[in-house]
């Protein structure tokens, strides 16, 4: 799954330290040889070490999943801006369509370059906000303006 995100920020997931694996092997040895007086303190130490490793693993998972969350947010924003384009009557504007397609291609391609995708979404958004792209306000005539009054 991570191969679908092109980002250098994705960290490597560390393996548990060798000392932890060795302590587990020692605990098994103590259990098999009936050295209960040594097993208890070792299991306490292993429990603490395992809790620390679990914390590290959760942090690594968060760091690994973060680019996927960013991609999902960018995809959602792009779809929201597409709906905005339709409401503004710009859904068929060639420049708007081109910018949407470029952003969509970047965000749904593997690997996904998040920086380029974010820039493409921003360009699409700017295309919707360009002054020359905004629909003209409806001209309403004031009925009182065309009437002459008897003074």
Higher pLDDT, 102 or 10: 102
At residue 88, φ and ψ (nearest 5 deg) are -85, -5
Is residue 71 within 8 A of residue 117, CB to CB? The reply is: yes
134 has a pLDDT exceeding 80: no
- 74/105 Cα distance (integer angstroms): 12
Q: In this predicted model, what pLDDT tens digit does every residue of 93-133 receive, in sequence order?
A: 999 999 999 999 999 998 889 999 999 999 999 999 876 65
Query: What integer pLDDT is reported at residue 32 of this predicted model?
Result: 95
91 has a pLDDT exceeding 50: yes
5's enclosing H/E stretch is strand 5-6
Q: In this predicted model, what pLDDT tens digit does every residue of 42-78 receive, in sequence order?
A: 999 999 999 999 998 899 888 888 999 999 999 999 9
């Amino acid at each position: 799954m991570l191969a679908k995100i092109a980002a250098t920020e994705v960290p490597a997931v560390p393996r548990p330290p060798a000392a932890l694996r060795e302590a587990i092997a020692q605990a098994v040895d103590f259990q098999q040889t009936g050295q209960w007086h040594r097993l208890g303190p070792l299991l306490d130490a292993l429990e603490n070490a395992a809790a620390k490793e679990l914390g590290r693993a959760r942090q690594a998972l968060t760091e690994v999943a973060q680019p996927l969350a960013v991609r999902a947010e960018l995809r959602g924003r792009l779809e929201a801006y597409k709906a905005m384009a339709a409401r503004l009557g710009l859904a068929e504007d060639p420049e708007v369509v081109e910018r949407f397609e470029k952003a969509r291609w970047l965000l749904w391609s593997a690997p996904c370059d998040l920086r380029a995708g974010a820039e493409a979404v921003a360009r699409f958004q700017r295309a919707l906000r360009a002054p020359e792209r905004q629909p003209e306000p409806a001209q309403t005539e004031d009925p009182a303006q065309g009437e002459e009054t008897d003074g």
